[in-house]
Amino acid sequence: MVPLIERASSMLSVQQLCRLARVPRCSYYRRQRRSGVEDQPDAVCAELHRVCEQYPSYGYRRVTHELRRRSHRVNHKRILALMRAERLLCRPKRRFIRTTDSRHGLPVYPNLARTLSVTQPNQLWVADLMYVRLVRGFAYVAVILDAFSRRAVGWALSSHVPIPS
């Protein structure tokens, strides 16, 4: 329908022709913009491989910018799909997060549980404190376990960790 509009545009306006053909005007202009400008998929794919070899730590956003700098008309969503298909996406390194500070001046108590041999329930209880990431911060969970049966004896949930005084 759009090529017909292009041929008849000398007699009527584009708006009138689009109304007669029941085609949105934006489709006509979008087609005009796209004609002859599309890159060949093989050329983009070959250039994509070159960019990923040259910059192995680049993600799809940086690769898109680099391809645009090299005069390719590409969309970031298309590059992401191509990089997924070609298995060129790099995995980010996870940061190591230290949660324990062992260098402190506080007294360290000996571990008496190492020498104890547990033969029945309620001889030894162990505790653990963990945090759960939520949308608005963290929630802290304290759990007390029976070392023999490995069942939870008690637990507590709080939005903060109580600091002993």
pLDDT of residue 119: 93
Mean pLDDT of the chain: 85
Q: Are 115 and 126 in contact (CB under 8 A)?
A: no
The answer on pLDDT for 34 being more than 80 is: no
Residue 145 lies in a domain: yes
pLDDT at residue 39 above 70?
A: no
Does residue 133 sit within a domain? yes
Locate all alpha helices (DSSP H) within the chain, ordered by sequence: 2-8, 14-21, 25-34, 41-54, 60-69, 76-85
Report the C-alpha gap between 25 and 12 in whole angstroms.
14
| Structural domain range at position 32 | 1-37
Tell me the backbone φ, ψ of residue 141, rounded to 5 degrees. -120, 125
* Tokens 């400008």 found at: 37
Domain assignment of residue 88, yes or no: yes
Tell me, yes or no, whether 15 lies in a domain: yes
Q: Examine the domain organization and report whether 48 and 28 are in the same domain.
A: no
Same structural domain, 22 and 6: yes
Q: Domain total for the chain?
A: 3
Mean pLDDT, range 150-162, rounded to an integer: 89
Residues 43, 76 share a domain = yes
Model confidence at 48, in pLDDT bands (50, 70, 90)?
very high
The token pair that represents 25 in the structure block: 């005007």
Output the pLDDT for position 61.
Answer: 95
Q: Are residues 21 and 45 in the same domain?
A: no
**Percent share of the chain, pLDDT over 90:** 41
CA dist 147 and 126 (Å) reads 6
pLDDT in the model for residue 100: 83
- Do residues 65 and 55 touch, judged by C-beta distance below 8 A? no
4 or 31, which is more confident: 31
Report which of residues 137 and 5 the model is more confident about: 137
Query: Which tens digit of pLDDT belongs to each residue from 120-137?
Result: 999 999 999 998 898 888
